[in-house]
Structure formats: C-alpha cells, structure tokens
Amino acid sequence: MVYLLAAVCAVGVVLIAGRLVRRGRDDRAPDGPTSGHAGSMISALFLLAFAVAIVVPWAATDSARLNTYSEAQAVTEAYWSAERLPAGPRDSARAGLRDYVRFVRDEEWRQMAEGRLSPGGWTRLDAVRRQIITLRAPDDDEYKDARNAFLEQVTAISAARHQRAMDARTTPPPGLLVITALTGLLVVAFPFLAGARPRGMTIVPLALMAGLLAIGIYLAIDISHAFTGALAVRPDAFTGALAEIDRISGG
C-alpha cells in the first residue's frame, strides 16, 4: 500500500506540474526531451532492480551452499568424536548420525524447496543428543571429555541446521520481482507509448531486446530460492559426508 501511494503521489506531482508550468514549448516528438528523459530513467530503474534481483539471491545461494558443507563437516567431526565413547553408545550414536545424513539427503531435501525442514530431521538429531546426555558418566575425566566433545559437535550440527532452515525460507521481497518485471515491460513498450512506430528492420533489435529481457527476468525469478531453480543447492555435502563416514567406519 505504501508503494502504491508513493506511485500515485508521483503521478499527481507530474499532472500538477504539467498544469502549472506554462513556459517552454510543446514536446510531442517521440525523440523529444521528455521521452528521452523518461526512457533513460525507466532503463536505469530496470537495471537497478534487475541487478538487485540477481545479486541478492546469488549471494544467498552461495551462503546456503557453504552452510550445508559446514553442517556436513560437523556431522563428520561428531562421527569422529564418537570414537572415544564406550562401544555401545558409540555404535548407537554413529548409527544415528548416519541415519540423519541419509534422511536429510534422500527425504528432507525435497521439502526444502517448499521453504521448510522436516520434523523428522530434528527428531533424529535430538535422539542422538538425548542418548549421550542421559548416559550415566563414570568418574573418568577422559570419558567426560569424550562425551563433551561429542555433544559440542552435535550442537554445531544443530546450529547449522537452524541456519539451513532460515536459508530455506529466504527469498527476495516479492515487490522486487514485480518491479523488475514491470520496468522490463515498460522498457519494451516505451517506444510505442512515446509515439514511435517501428517498421521494417527497426523492429528486429527491439524484438531481440524484448527476448533478452524476458530471459533475464525469468532467470531472476528462477534463482529467487536457494534450493530450487538453476542455481539450486544440491545435497552434495551430505553425499560427501556419507562417503567420509563409510571411510571412517572402514578404518
């Protein structure tokens, strides 16, 4: 509503100025100063909106990708930390970590495209944490250090998972994509609105520009979410974590 009111006020200013300003000459030419000024400003606004619509999702996607590798690395470190635990808790904790990674890669990743994480991932991670927390620790400093080291890595996994949940919900403001599409349409239609009538070969560069603008706007919409589209983050980090877990298990 605020944006709409701002646009209405701007249009009102133009209409009032057109009534009050009497000096100067009439400008009816398609290539006159009014058309040239308006066309350059519309082009500049489109370039600004288009640049933001591309750069912001690109940076968000890179950050989300790095976070998945941080989470996968924390899982691997937790798997290593479990080595110092007693045999029973160690095997159970490692099995829980392996199951968590598989669940994220094979099942949860599809839900992230919808902007959410599965409760099943939290259930698996909490089960691993709770199992180690509730262990009766003997009066052995080495065992306590091992348990604390393992829980620290699980805490790192949880923190990275929270960040991944935020990444899955992050998208550019809807108004930004609307402004990008609207200004792109105005860039194409402006010559006609200004009174020009392209004919013959002059229509070719205009058509090429319209096609390229359409591709650019589609790209901006396609990459607006970190886990969908052409730049979508893939579960490669968790596939690598499973390979590393297999390597550790194999000695």
Q: What is the pLDDT of residues 170-205, one digit of tens each?
A: 888 888 888 888 888 888 887 777 777 777 777 888
pLDDT at residue 143 above 60? yes
**C-alpha to C-alpha distance for 154 and 146, rounded to whole angstroms:** 13
Q: Residue 18 — pLDDT band, cuts 50, 70, 90?
A: low
**pLDDT score at 165:** 93
In tens, the pLDDT along 38-84 reads 678 888 888 888 899 899 889 999 999 999 999 999 999 999 998 88
**pLDDT score at 124:** 93
Are the C-beta atoms of residues 166 and 116 closer than 8 Å to each other? no
Output the pTM of the full model: 0.79
Indicate the Cα dihedral angle 14, 49, 165, 115, nearest 10°.
Answer: 80
Mean pLDDT over each residue of the chain, to the nearest integer: 84
Are the C-beta atoms of residues 103 and 120 closer than 8 Å to each other? yes
Are the C-beta atoms of residues 185 and 18 closer than 8 Å to each other? no
Name the nearest CA neighbour of 236 among 120, 67, 95, 105: 105
For the chain, the three-class secondary structure string (H helix, E strand, C coil) is: CHHHHHHHHHHHHHHHHHHHCCCCCCCCCCCCHHHHHHHHHHHHHHHHHHHHHHHHHHHHHHHHHHHHHHHHHHHHHHHHHHHHCCHHHHHHHHHHHHHHHHHHHHHHHHHHCCCCCCHHHHHHHHHHHHHHHCCCCCCCHHHHHHHHHHHHHHHHHHHHHHHHHHHHHCCCCHHHHHHHHHHHHHHHHHHHHCCCCCCHHHHHHHHHHHHHHHHHHHHHHHCCCCCCCCCCCCCHHHHHHHHHHHHHHCC
In tens, the pLDDT along 82-105 reads 888 888 888 999 999 999 999 999
Average pLDDT, integer, range 242-251: 88
pLDDT at residue 30 above 80? no
Average pLDDT, integer, range 138-144: 71
**C-alpha to C-alpha distance for 190 and 210, rounded to whole angstroms:** 12
* CA separation, residue 163 to residues 109, 112, 180 (Å): 14, 12, 28
How many Cβ atoms sit within 10 Å of the Cβ of residue 138? 10
**C-alpha to C-alpha distance for 188 and 123, rounded to whole angstroms:** 52
Name the nearest CA neighbour of 233 among 109, 132, 140: 109
